[in-house]
Structures are given as structure tokens and as C-alpha cells.
A and B are shown apart, each in its own frame.
Chain A
Amino acid sequence: AQSVTQLGSHVSVSEGALVLLRCNYSSSVPPYLFWYVQYPNQGLQLLLKYTSAATLVKGINGFEAEFKKSETSFHLTKPSAHMSDAAEYFCAVTSTGNQFYFGTGTSLTVIP
């Protein structure tokens, strides 16, 4: 069985500050890991994905995530938050490509 845990349902950061959104996964086989972003009243958009190549993955809009097998983590970071980063972020895992399991999401607020 696979699952994803996102610590912190709400995260607030000041504009220009570091963004850190946490994701831990459980999987009995090497996983594919993803981060998605959802803006209000929209579908989910892919930020980045890990597919067993480099452990540090760079995505769109300045986001990146590091796969740490020993910690079963795939935390999302951005060095400097922008007002436009305010959204909901979801971590997801799949090992087969048939079933994707999502975390419960983290709502990011950026304070001007």
C-alpha cells in the first residue's frame, strides 16, 4: 500500500521568505513522486516530478524538491516566496502509474 502525509494543512510565509512544504511517503517499491499546485476554482497543475533520475528536482516557478530515500521524504522548497505562490499544494505518489495517491494538501498563504 502507498500513502502520502503532508505535515501542516496551512503554512504562512512572508513575501521573500523561504517556502518549505513537507511531504513524506510510504511505498514498498521505488516510487514516482509529484508535486501539484491548485489555484482557486481550477484543476491541479504539475509543479515537478521525481522519476528516479536526479534526487534534486527542479520545477516551474522556481520550486524544487529533494528526494531523500532514507527519510522517505520529498519536501518542496522555494527560496523566495511571491504573492502569486499563494495556492494549495498537493504531494502525490505512484509506483505503478495506475493508482496515484495524494496527500491532504497544504494551503500556502503569502503575507505582503
Chain B
Amino acid sequence: NAGVTQTPKFQVLKTGQSMTLQCAQDMNHEYMSWYRQDPGMGLRLIHYSVGAGITDQGEVPNGYNVSRSTTEDFPLRLLSAAPSQTSVYFCASSFRSESLHFGNGTRLTVT
């Protein structure tokens, strides 16, 4: 079982560049979400989706866009990267209120 797959694992960007973090799940989960993890701050929700065509903002959505065209995929777009977006990003999926299944993360550095 692949579960939740995130690509790339590592990325270095320059300020102002754009990129897309990819997330795919093969469990037919309705719910998908993106978190960022920063030292001492735990995981903070960026955006989430409860199904194809439906997205909503979490705690820290500024500077990030998402779309959900299929059940399987939930990409996260950084439109103009800033050093404050240096973080580890995790994608997670779940079925209703069941537990979250996490990917292995993308470590992003913005210089």
C-alpha cells in the first residue's frame, strides 16, 4: 500500500520563485489536508479539502493555494516563496473523523 505520497522530499527555492508540492493518496479518502511543521510550534493546518472540488482555509493559509480536482490528488502551490515559508510540509488524508494518514513530508528551504 502506497498510502500518502509526497513529492519532492527536499526543495530549495529562491525568494519569489513559485512551486507546487505534490500529494497523492490511494485510499479513496474524502478528506485531505496540508500542514507545516516548525520547531516549537507543532503542526499548523494550511488548507484542507473534504472532497473533490471543495477546499477551505486552515490556520495559516496566506501565501498558499490549493485545488482538488480529483479524490486522489491535493497539490499545494506557493505562488511567491518567502523565507518565512521555510518549513517541513506534511500532507495527510483521512476518512471522516478517523485518524489522519501522513506522508513523509517535504523539507522546503527558501533563501
Contact = CB atoms under 8 A, between A and B. Distances in A.
B74 interface: no
A96 B97 contact: yes
Nearest to A97: B97
A49 B99 contact: yes
Contact of A94 (B56, B58, B97, B104): B97
B22 to A, nearest CB: 15
Interface stretch (B12-20, B37-45, B60-68, B75-83): B37-45
A104 B97 contact: no
Q: How large is the interface on B (under 10, 10 to 19, 20 to 34, 35 or more residues)?
A: 20 to 34
B102 A104 contact: no
A98 B56 CA distance: 10
B90 A44 contact: yes
A97 B43 contact: no
A99 B45 contact: yes
A36 B4 CA distance: 16
Given A97-B31, A98-B31, A9 B105 contact: no
B25 interface: no
Interface of A: 6, 9, 32, 34, 36, 41-46, 49, 51, 90, 92, 94, 96-105
Interface of B: 4, 31, 33, 35, 40-45, 48, 50, 56, 58, 90, 92, 94, 96-100, 102-105
13 contacts: A36-B100, A41-B105, A43-B4, A43-B102, A44-B90, A44-B102, A45-B102, A97-B96, A98-B31, A98-B48, A99-B45, A103-B42, A104-B41
